[in-house]
Structure 1
């Protein structure tokens, strides 16, 4: 196979980027060609995504990718978009967008969440959807919207989740991709179909829930006006990747079929730890943790737990910068490595850490409330965050093994958090497992290679992972100091109980 090129648009809740991926004889190279801010806007009606600016930046990213592709002598075969889950746009009967999409942190969701949970109950809702209860899940957003403005959903022809909406803008084809639909709390994980009975029970209309397609679906040609504006080749196709960002990242985990049992740890602002299953796990034990059942690139279930990841460290860094002290992440890791270990522990998922701002102060307050020493400086604070996160990974891994009745031998860390070697070693020591870190650009890698699968250039999920192993050199960490971590884990469990 000769050189083929693809454009991956990877959008997060703070920024977005365009990546040019070139596949050449079974090896993939990636290059960032455009990066832009992606911040929700506060309007009188609530917190919305700035969809106009987002679209302009995607068009500019495609233009720059076309320029770069010509410079290196490759032709772009396709493009695809991945984003976060749950948020959506409403499309009317004539194909128009009915208002700006709300952002998932909008305050309207909590009252709707409480009403729906009171009506359906945890056991009923988990048995029907297999999804962890989070107030921003699409089901609760729809309940909030229908209560506030019923005419919108009553008149909707379909809803498109954020990557679906952007694919619609690129191609003119409106469908829902399976992996992002699976995050909504509106899919039956056993069948992959809409759980319309739940919406009926809540008095919500369902006529807008339409076709769900798998990752790798070819939507067709790029719209002519977009091709003209960007200089893109006429033959460029729009191909849906696994359009939920975590699904793309997990697809790029370089695990081998038939190898040691493994789990993935998608590491960034959030950490998502889990395994791939053939069938959903809807047990009471899974609900109690809680684990969630989301869709993967080939119809598999991503059985995982959401964990507050490097959020605490990111927020500490932002607070230090506001005070006039700027640190790069490798500097913070160096200070943490030099600080004494096992002094102060926190629960990274504690509600007091959820909001942005004043994170070092919040950590000190948590330490005081739990009878522990307050971290005395930057290094001690960051070490506290990293050790606590590694212990949270251990706690999650043990519960995962208990629910599955299976020992996991290897932890594959994918995503940008994998660059933190200190945390990777702590994770290996805390869990007593081998940790394999990389690729760090896993979401974009998975996006590109699922497009390539849709184009016929890659065979299947196993072929994707073989290309990843050939293209990116992972870093392996083995357990070194597990004894101290065993004792500290008991302290950590005590902190969780306070």
Structure 2
């Protein structure tokens, strides 16, 4: 095998990376060429992604790659789900894309649910109804910006939009489009019932690409700017970061394995051949999203390390910068093991004042308050691990198949305390790794497009997949039952509504 260079642009809800991969006969070696911050920008009440800055940062990362003397064969973009941008027929951006945390959908959720009940939304799309969904955002925009609808020619999800800014061509890929509450469950088609009820034109998102495709080179102006030529092809790969990550995990296809993606969000699920559209799945808060091969990820989106990131941000604004490594060390030294929050209570979804929100929740539920920063972090981590166990139980019950092993991946597995707490609270062995699962899977999806049947994914994974094995060390059933009692006996929405700064 000749050496091949690939570029994965891996966009997260707090940072983005340009990562190069060198594929040789001995495996795939990754190098982070450039990392940049990617936080939503607030203007008054609105919250936007600065997609033009993202494109500029990617170009800088490509320049650094070029300085290494590398000539990439291809590039693909993956990102978080649901968000999008509007393009005119001339390819002009109509609005900066809103962040899923923008609150405009809160004012239109009631109207949307009158058009389609929450159960109908789930039954048709397989996705849990949510204010963050693409469908909810499109509906809110239609009501808020009626003058924009005649001008909008296409809607591109974030990977397709960024790809368009780089190459002049863009398309919506199945794994990313399947997150937004618009597709007929398990298909690449827009649900006619949903688009009709919400008055959203079908053609805005169609067609949906399944299995990826080549788009062509970067636009000439960007080629000249960064020193590339037509040899690098822009590819539609696995657009959703979790779907990309699963391509890097050989065990993710096993029936007795569930996965946990650890990042700003925690995504907990298992791979299935087809969607599950039962009332039990709906009531459990499970959602059906797509894989790169067209199968199903049955999962639940939970609040993840967003809580830790927000604590760090609060403290840094107060002049006390604590890095993530030190935060884990402080939490490991804490003996505060009997206080818990509900990580998915609505009050924790919005940015700002995270420590105050956690303390308020604890007071309202009659629990011991943290005495140190380590206590506070420990409370968050053990609450996250408890919420993982709760979701895994729902997955096992809904699918009728027991879960005997976990695979955890993403940047959050660098928090070894969280991984060990997850093993202890679930009682399950864990394969942890890789940290760069999304970038690796992004590159694998590129190879699947470029080399098609000639690419042996299983052979490559046998060379590069070397997870860390973690076993349960302490039985924490009593702690979990305490968490369960708190979540079941207290209304997180009611607590959230009474919180004030």
Question: TM-score when scaled to structure 2?
Answer: 0.92
Aligned to 2:499: none
Q: Within 1, Cα distance between the matches of 2:145 and 2:133?
A: 18
Q: Within 2, Cα distance between the matches of 1:260 and 1:278?
A: 10
- 1:199-223 superposed Cα distances (whole Å, 9 cap, x missing partner): 2123333332321112431112222
Structure 1 residues 390 and 458, CA gap change in structure 2 (3 angstroms): farther
Q: Within 2, Cα distance between the matches of 1:487 and 1:356?
A: 32
Structure 2 residue matching 1:193: 3-state secondary structure: coil
Q: Is the 8 A contact 2:386 2:425 kept in 1?
A: yes
Structure 2: gaps spanning 5 or more residues: 491-501
Aligned to 1:47: 47
- 1:111-143 superposed Cα distances (whole Å, 9 cap, x missing partner): 222211122111111100011122021111111
Q: 1:410 aligns with which of 405, 410, 418?
A: 405
Aligned to 2:11: 11
Q: State whether structure 2 residue 474 is matched by structure 1 residue 481.
A: yes
Q: State whether structure 2 residue 463 is matched by structure 1 residue 470.
A: yes
Structure 1 residues 357 and 102, CA gap change in structure 2 (3 angstroms): closer
Per the TM alignment, residue 151 of structure 1 is displaced from its structure 2 partner at its CA by 3.4
- The worse-fitting range, judged by mean Cα deviation, of 321-330 and 81-90 is 321-330
Per the TM alignment, residue 434 of structure 1 is displaced from its structure 2 partner at its CA by 0.6
- 1:384-441 superposed Cα distances (whole Å, 9 cap, x missing partner): 1111111111111111100011111111001001111111111111111111110001
Aligned to 1:311: 306
Q: Is the 8 A contact 2:252 2:271 kept in 1?
A: no
Per the TM alignment, residue 44 of structure 1 is displaced from its structure 2 partner at its CA by 6.7
Work out the number of aligned pairs and report it. Answer: 489
Output aligned runs, 1:86-101, within 5 Å: 86-101=82-97
Aligned to 1:180: 176
Output aligned runs, 1:174-253, within 5 Å: 174-253=170-249
Q: State whether structure 2 residue 167 is matched by structure 1 residue 171.
A: yes
Q: Within 2, Cα distance between the matches of 1:45 and 1:432?
A: 44
- The worse-fitting range, judged by mean Cα deviation, of 218-227 and 369-378 is 218-227
- The worse-fitting range, judged by mean Cα deviation, of 19-28 and 358-367 is 358-367
- 1:358-396 superposed Cα distances (whole Å, 9 cap, x missing partner): 323322222222121111112222221111111111111
Q: State whether structure 2 residue 348 is matched by structure 1 residue 353.
A: yes
Structure 1: gaps spanning 5 or more residues: none
- 1:237-292 superposed Cα distances (whole Å, 9 cap, x missing partner): 011121112211222224175x5710110001110000011100111011111111
Structure 2 residue matching 1:360: 3-state secondary structure: helix
Structure 1 residues 146 and 17, CA gap change in structure 2 (3 angstroms): same
Q: Is the 8 A contact 1:87 1:102 kept in 2?
A: yes
Q: 2:363 aligns with which of 352, 364, 368?
A: 368
Q: Within 2, Cα distance between the matches of 1:328 and 1:465?
A: 37
Structure 2 residue matching 1:334: 3-state secondary structure: helix
Q: State whether structure 2 residue 289 is matched by structure 1 residue 298.
A: no
Structure 1 residues 162 and 468, CA gap change in structure 2 (3 angstroms): same
Q: Within 1, Cα distance between the matches of 2:480 and 2:65?
A: 48
Aligned to 1:30: 30
CA RMSD of aligned residues (A): 2.1
Structure 1 residue matching 2:271: 3-state secondary structure: strand
Question: TM-score when scaled to structure 1?
Answer: 0.93
